[in-house]
Chain A
């Protein structure tokens, strides 16, 4: 009985080791490394440079940014970025311009995804929500002001 469980154990660990060796289970392939430099940036420009290497984005009417004009509770501001009208969307980034760390989230899309993201973000005060879309190597953006009546950071 002991011999049997021992064999089972060695077989199981052997299989995992093979998977790791083949690069199937390495953490980097499972989840990408977090961009701490961009996320700790204090301005939207620095944050964008941290992600895309450039902060100059041109305003585009093809990006639909949906956010409330007045957010009653800044801690849960629904934001939707619809860039399905833009061809070749590679990535969407959402920033809140006056947050202590403006970068909220960054989405990278592979072939099987459409340029669409909907989420809820925290906003400390009245400010602009900025959506930056990278498509065909170019940076496009859309901006909208959201008035916050109650702060989003526990205040």
Chain B
């Protein structure tokens, strides 16, 4: 039976804020409803963001997960999409903008009665491939292993497959949970159960227990946890209602909400820093190089790029060369913050990525490496 789309309609939790707004100004702000399609993980953030960011409501359609979200924004069927992986070049080339929200750890959860605390990625691969069938083989009780996985539409499915299984297929014994959140219930009901799920679903969750992977526990501050993926919002540029919201996502206030469940774009200590506290760091971007013919010799200087504080707000345009013969990328000093860099991936084709500038430190980014990662 085809499952009905799982649509969460969040009531106007911002009404209190709206009311407060009415008390201080005579202008009544009209609330805007935005149709969202995509990752249920990103939707966890949107549900909470809605309760603190005034004037926006999200119609959340999470059944299509990341793959469906990217399709929907590409076809114009959604105003906002969420994906738990990097956007494809095809999507970016179609003029769709991407905003990095944060990073999500993919947690491995077991039944709370299971005493196993830590598994290596090799052990996880064997468990999810069906090569280990009993918990006693990894230091647990004599109990049959029942692996659960989220649906293939979910980016959690493919990222875990890539990062842990090395691209190999899941074992035939894996049972599929749809939507992702349903996996918690399945593992909670199965004493020998094990599953993978976004860490964002586990806030306050006691029915299952996340375990460490390679000795690293999944937390919003643990950058060493080995299984993580980026969370992006995709949108058409020039949407006035969304522009303000996306600026807020990038702000300290927005990142605080992100970090209730996910790893933020900045380290914890930087969130909430005031302008007065901000010092400068250095950015070096290795962009595309194009030939310059100078008296019989070809020089290959780097091409220009833009630094934006948020989508649409140009902060600085960097020629990335001092004259036509300069073959070294320019070292650019910027206030410590997170920036969006827009560079050329090919003549006339753009690539966008975030960089974090830390005080007194050098941040380097290589466009070719970023493109290779996205492929």
Chains A and B are bound partners: no
Which residues in A have some Cβ–Cβ distance to B below 8 Å?
none
Which residues in B have some Cβ–Cβ distance to A below 8 Å?
none
